[in-house]
Amino acid sequence: MSAPGSFSKPSWIGSGTMILDIFLTVSKGIGLTLYITAASLFFGGIVGLFLAAGAQSRFALLRLAVAAYVNVVRVIPPITWLFLIYFGLPQFALKLSTLEAAIVGFSVIASAFMAEIYRSGLLSIPVGQREAAHALGMGQLTTARWVITPQAFRVALPAIATYAIGLLKDSALASTIGVHEITYFAQQSAKQLHQGLLSFALAGALYIILSLVIAVISRRIHVRLRQKTGVA
């Protein structure tokens, strides 16, 4: 998708300062892109923890409610969630800023996905771990906190990193409700400078770089944990 008129420009090559200009403009969005991603991963990660716990509950009704929540959240497209929250909630006198709406929306979505990731992590822990903890007199909560969760987290880490990268990309959708993140600025410079190709190509490059950073960090943690403990 190129901005109107960009095809009529002879070439964008040769204008080093223009590339720099666009790059600096688009870069202004890095902050909010990372902020939305990190905040949503954080809140979604916490809510997801409770959802995963609920999915293990002995009360069938609670398990059912969690399953329903997770499935409903996951089948609605992210952009629909954002519109629902940003344009829909004000009808209930709940007016959120664009940034708040984006973080709430992505947190809701992240909570469902994180719950599933935790669940697979939990399933990978051998039953003997729980039995050993119980045989040692440790209660349900102590066992969950000190024995199961740390191990499940290690197992889940690669999946969490993959999801974080997915979330980073999805955060571009926040531009549609006007959050000043990378894609928003790319759109601005595409319109103002008639440089659609260059603006969005630079935005794409930024997403690649940020994704690589997340991937490298998670890989490092993963390798360190594995060297140390031989698990995960």
Among 150, 208, 209, 213, binds another protein (CB under 8 A): 150
Among 10, 14, 16, 128, binds another protein (CB under 8 A): 128
d(C-alpha 182, C-alpha 33), whole Å: 6
User: Residue 133 or 202: which CB sits closer to another protein?
Assistant: 133
Least distance CB 129 / another protein (angstroms): 6
Residue 58 interacts with another protein (CB under 8 A): yes or no? no
Tell me which stretch binds another protein (CB under 8 A): 43-51, 93-101, 170-178, 223-231.
223-231
Residue 80 interacts with another protein (CB under 8 A): yes or no? no
Least distance CB 126 / another protein (angstroms): 8
Residue 123 interacts with another protein (CB under 8 A): yes or no? no
**Residue ranges that bind another protein, judged by CB under 8 A:** 126, 128-129, 131-139, 142, 146-147, 150-151, 154, 228-231
